[in-house]
Structure 1
Amino acid sequence: MDKSILRCYLVAGTQDCRHLPEYNASHPQQTLLDRLEQALKAGVTCYQFREKGQFSLQNPQQIEQLARQCQDLCQQYNVPFIMNNDVKLAEKLHADGIHVGQKDFAVDKLAQQIQGKMLIGLSVNTLQQAQQHNAFNGVDYYGCGPIFPTFSKADAAPDVGIHFVQFLREQGISKPLVAIGGIKTEHVPALLQAGADGVAVISTIMQAEDVAATVQKILVK
């Protein structure tokens, strides 16, 4: 895979739009689409559709329709569209990738099922988890974190800190790696220096007053 796609990686669903002044509780999909397009115009390098949690859409048809709309936007801007966890929907939409957690799906079975048709990202929170699939070509990249405490995930694992990225690299973890979890623009240089190939954010972009300026801060080396 081209690890440059991890450089500025947006993760979001309608549940991440509730604070925005333009949010319409009866039709939250448009708020997400508008913010996603702002982020794509600004230069995000990857987008993960993560419709999950207490305030997310629950209707499978609505979720699929919104996923298709997000995918269409990503294709317009030539940005990879990654699906969070929902393997069936990822296959149905011919997504560019699927991202799973440690408890979501047996990743070796997933790789057999996908057969190289899309990228596979795997969340890791410990050295043991990272070592387990470091040499396994079926996993294309790691999502490492949470780096800092995060309020975007109710079931988030304990935060590991910026030093964890450097620790993984020092222990021979060579797979492309995107840091995630509570990351703000001022943390980006240290994370890149520690060995991350990029950062994944939710709130930093979804809550930004100026999306374009925020994305540019993330992209500045």
Structure 2
Amino acid sequence: MKNIQEILLLYFVAGTQDCRHLGDNPADNLLSVLKQALEGGITCFQFRDKGKFSLENSPDEQRALAIKCRDLCRQYDVPFIVDDNVDLALEIEADGIHVGQGDTPVKTIRAKTNKPLIIGWSINSLDEAKIGEGLSEIDYFGVGPIFSTLSKENPSPALGMEFIQTLRNEGITKPLVAIGGIKLEHVKTLRKYGADGVAVITTITQANNIKAATQALKEDSNTIKP
């Protein structure tokens, strides 16, 4: 397994709801976008298929799509993470799971499997980071939203890029990936402030040239070695 910092460098998050602008078959669209993003050099993919316009109400279809995404990621040796759905992640042997503050507790997830599993945890405050810093079950923090975002229905307040620096100055040492409204022009600053990588949705899904947009993000994330 690659080290977690390498995995977080360019972290792509998406589900069918993020691809509906591309036509009538969001599942095929997601696979097409994911393939181009993998060719462009993403280092991790999180299957986050939730909310209206997703396949949440069609669990069999959603599971079938998750397996196709997982298999595609494996072809490129890129970790495949499932958002929130612990049972699905374990059933299809995902490489990891990402949970929010109100989702399944990380200790519960670790107790469900003896296989190596990357566990990410969303944080939106210094207090949450300090709690998570003391939990050995957590491999990395998803920090955000950095900017306001349209990808979540009820997002938490935007934190701003300096929040990453604040976490590092306050002694937070766990790997951090910044998420929420991040565009190419923010990447170098976030890395300089101490983020191990950036997580993006629309910057890839809505790019005119997905592979080129991904390559540009990767290049900028790679230029700064904290």
TM above 0.5, one fold?
A: yes
Give the C-alpha shift of residue 19 in structure 1: 1.5
Answer yes or no: is 1:46 the counterpart of 2:48.
no
Answer yes or no: is 1:16 the counterpart of 2:8.
no
Q: For 1:66-85, list aligned pairs within 5 A.
A: 66-85=65-84
1:49-90 CA-partner distances (Å, limit 9, x unpaired): 011011101211000000000001000010000000000000
CA distance in 2, matches of 1:19, 1:9: 21
* 3-state SS of 1:133 partner: helix
Give the C-alpha shift of residue 116 in structure 1: 5.2
* 3-state SS of 1:34 partner: helix
1:160-204 CA-partner distances (Å, limit 9, x unpaired): 000000000000000000000000010000000000000000000
1:55 to 50, 53, 56: 53
Answer yes or no: is 1:35 the counterpart of 2:16.
no
Counterpart of 2:64 in structure 1: which amino acid? Answer: Q
CA distance in 1, matches of 2:115, 2:16: 29
Give the C-alpha shift of residue 136 in structure 1: 2.1
Q: Which residue of 2 aligns with 1:101?
A: 100
Answer yes or no: is 1:162 the counterpart of 2:161.
yes
Query: Is the Cα–Cα contact under 8 Å of residues 4 and 139 in structure 2 kept in the other structure?
Result: no
Q: For 1:60-209, list aligned pairs within 5 A.
A: 60-115=59-114, 117-209=116-208
1:196-217 CA-partner distances (Å, limit 9, x unpaired): 0000000000000011221122
Alignment RMSD, CA only? 1.0
* 3-state SS of 1:121 partner: strand
Give the number of equivalent residue pairs.
Answer: 217
Q: Which residue of 2 aligns with 1:6?
A: 8
Counterpart of 1:219 in structure 2: which amino acid? Answer: K
Give the C-alpha shift of residue 4 in structure 1: 0.9
TM-score (norm 1): 0.95
Give the C-alpha shift of residue 12 in structure 1: 0.3
Counterpart of 1:154 in structure 2: which amino acid? Answer: E
Q: Which residue of 2 aligns with 1:214?
A: 213
* 3-state SS of 2:142 partner: strand
Counterpart of 1:85 in structure 2: which amino acid? Answer: D
Query: Is the Cα–Cα contact under 8 Å of residues 111 and 139 in structure 1 kept in the other structure?
Result: no
Counterpart of 2:4 in structure 1: which amino acid? Answer: D
Counterpart of 2:123 in structure 1: which amino acid? Answer: V
Mark the runs of 5 or more structure 1 residues left unpaired by the alignment.
none
* 3-state SS of 1:214 partner: helix
Query: Is the Cα–Cα contact under 8 Å of residues 116 and 138 in structure 1 kept in the other structure?
Result: no
